Amino acid sequence: MKEKNVEIVTHSAAETVELGRKIGSVLRGGEVIALIGDLGTGKTHLIKGIALGLEARDAQQVTSPTFVLVSEYLGRGGTICIYHIDAYRIETLAEFQALGFDEYCRPDSVVLVEWADKIMPVLQGVETIELRLEHISKNRRKITIQNVRLS
């Protein structure tokens, strides 16, 4: 298996959500996705799309869980747990680990970590897919998908 990086430019929030939907539709469970990008780059829109692609009933309710730190959604008729973790307010690696991160990483779950750059040492031993988001202009975003495995 080889790894490949993919770069995609979206031109609106709707396109970012649609890209997320396409990503979510191919996830099978067991994935940890690290989202990295500045404020306003579209991380939450991408996650909303991933939840749609995983057929989460409440995908339209996806918001940044900044104050609750972890939101949980059920996808594919309840067969996939989607854990949306926001590390923005996390101050230490121990605080992140205390959230129970290891317990979320299961074959029947997809773990989405916003602000993953803040807790990267915890992710070092975990196989992750990295989604790096950057502003290009007011509505355009460059999204780089890293660690995509191709058979």
Q: Exposure pattern of 96-128 as b/e (b: 16+ CB <10 Å)?
A: beebebeebbeeebbbbbbbbebbeebbeeeeb
Q: Is the pLDDT of residue 149 over 60?
A: no
Question: Is the model's pLDDT at 63 over the cut of 80?
Answer: no
C-alpha angle 62-66-70 in degrees, rounded to nearest 5: 65
- The predicted model scores a pTM of 0.90
Q: What is the sign of the dihedral through the CA atoms of 34, 37, 39 and 40?
A: negative
- Identify whether the C-beta of residue 55 lies closer than 8 Å to the C-beta of residue 76: yes
List the domains of the chain with CATH numbers.
2-150 (3.40.50.300)
Tens-place pLDDT, residues 69-118: 898 999 999 999 999 999 998 999 999 999 999 999 999 999 999 999 99
pLDDT at 119: 94
> Does residue 151 surpass a pLDDT of 50?
no
Degrees (nearest 5) of the Cα angle 107, 113, 117?
130
Query: What is the tens place of the pLDDT at every residue in 126-138?
Result: 889 999 999 999 8
Helices (H), ranges, 36-77: 43-53
